[in-house]
């Protein structure tokens, strides 16, 4: 009996906020659509003894720039929105927050963390390096002498989505860290760096809520004030090529396979589908939910490869196409 022909490997990089859900609310049809997609990707029937008669058709990762919550809490949000636990395993979450934590560990410089309390849980102090974790309930003027020394010892700033900390007092402290205002005479010179979880300019916090500012404009303000070249800022999330490459390496566990098909899906033509997605030649799918606005598909350096009303509509289209092959 001849072996079944090998399928073209399929890797799906799926945005979360705005694409799969908005707050605690799934986008239209998303819960059932994710279940159908997961079942289809898993492949076909089972042989006796539990081995798969047909190989899996592909793999999926949730690629999120969400930095207000740790991966564990992000999964809890998905469960609260109605997604089945087996459809949203924590191991399938690939976030810019985790990537930023890895980058900071490699940098080995004490940093001021402009992150939400939940996001700060993902960042750990390295031996000899103590990061400063500001509280949104306190202002810099309220720090005691020991806290002030720790803050002024920082030589890097990590910026994520932390609306409570994006106020003049803490942005001033970030500027002073980055401009060397707190450097002491005789200290070794060190490059002062910004690590950004992502540079999205805005997001939609709830289905019926107006758009809110993301971390992007605040990062630009710090770069301008501290005279830091934007190219020196380490952006860890989408749409950088490094983020997508890291996710694909995790999915395939090896070098790229000939003929593999890599698809990225999101609601933001720039933050989800821009730069790195274009450079790597990923198939780019824009959905008209979340922060999508009329005409977004016509903006940017390159239009998306496909436009759908929702994630569920895209799943219907994909499965319909594949069933006809």
Residue 258 has a pLDDT of: 65
Using DSSP's 3-state secondary structure scheme, residue 95 falls into strand
Residue 51 has a pLDDT of: 37
The reply to whether 158 and 190 lie within a common domain is yes
Within a domain: 81: no
Residue 185 has a pLDDT of: 86
Of 50-59, 110-119, 288-297, which range is least confident?
50-59
Please state, rounded to an integer, the average pLDDT across all residues of the chain.
89
The reply to whether 35 and 140 lie within a common domain is no
At 58, which CATH number?
Answer: 3.40.50.1000
Count of domains observed in the chain: 2
The reply to whether 277 and 296 lie within a common domain is yes
The reply to whether 212 and 314 lie within a common domain is no
Domain boundary among 207, 235, 263: 235
Domain boundary among 235, 262, 293: 235
pLDDT digits 0-9 by tens, 131-158: 999 999 999 999 999 999 999 999 999 9
Contact 215, 203 (CB under 8 A): no
For the chain, give the number of residues. Answer: 325
pLDDT digits 0-9 by tens, 39-96: 999 985 333 333 333 457 889 999 998 877 788 889 999 999 999 999 999 999 999 9
Percentage of residues in the chain with pLDDT exceeding 90?
70
Looking up tokens 């694409």, which residue turns up?
A: 19
Domain boundary among 235, 262, 279: 235
The reply to whether 122 and 21 lie within a common domain is no
pLDDT digits 0-9 by tens, 227-246: 999 999 999 989 999 999 98
The reply to whether 109 and 51 lie within a common domain is no
N-to-C CA span, the chain? 22
Within a domain: 133: yes
Residue 148 sits in which domain range? 105-235
Any idea what the Cα angle at residue 183 is, between residues 181 and 187, rounded to 5°? 165
């Amino acid at each position: 009996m001849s072996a079944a022909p090998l399928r073209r490997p399929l890797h799906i990089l799926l945005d979360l906020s705005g694409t799969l859900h908005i707050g605690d609310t799934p986008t239209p049809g998303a819960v059932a659509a994710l279940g159908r997609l997961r079942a289809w990707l898993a492949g076909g029937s089972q042989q006796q003894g539990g081995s798969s008669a047909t190989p899996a058709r592909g793999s999926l990762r949730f690629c999120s720039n969400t930095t207000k919550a740790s991966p564990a809490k992000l999964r809890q949000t998905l469960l609260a929105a109605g997604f089945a636990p087996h459809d949203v395993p924590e191991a399938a979450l690939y976030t810019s927050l985790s990537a930023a934590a890895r980058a900071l560990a490699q940098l080995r410089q004490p940093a001021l963390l402009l992150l939400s309390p939940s996001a700060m849980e993902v960042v750990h102090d390295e031996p000899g390096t103590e990061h400063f974790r500001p509280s949104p309930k306190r202002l810099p003027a309220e720090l005691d002498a020991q806290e002030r020394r720790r803050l002024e010892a920082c030589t890097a700033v990590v910026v994520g989505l932390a609306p409570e900390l994006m106020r003049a007092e803490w942005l001033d402290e970030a500027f002073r860290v980055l401009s060397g205002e707190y450097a002491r005479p005789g200290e070794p010179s060190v490059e002062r760096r910004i690590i950004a979880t992502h540079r999205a300019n805005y997001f939609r916090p709830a289905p019926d809520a107006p758009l809110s500012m993301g971390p992007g404009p605040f990062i630009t303000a710090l770069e301008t004030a501290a005279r830091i070249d934007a190219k020196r800022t380490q952006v860890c999330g989408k749409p950088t090529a490094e983020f997508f490459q890291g996710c694909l390496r995790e999915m395939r566990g090896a070098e790229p396979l000939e003929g593999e098909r890599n698809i990225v899906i999101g609601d933001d033509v720039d933050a989800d589908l821009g730069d790195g997605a274009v450079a790597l030649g990923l198939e780019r799918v824009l959905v008209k939910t979340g922060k999508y606005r009329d005409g977004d598909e016509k903006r940017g350096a390159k239009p998306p490869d496909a436009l759908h009303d929702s994630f569920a509509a895209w799943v219907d289209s994909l499965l319909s196409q594949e069933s006809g092959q």
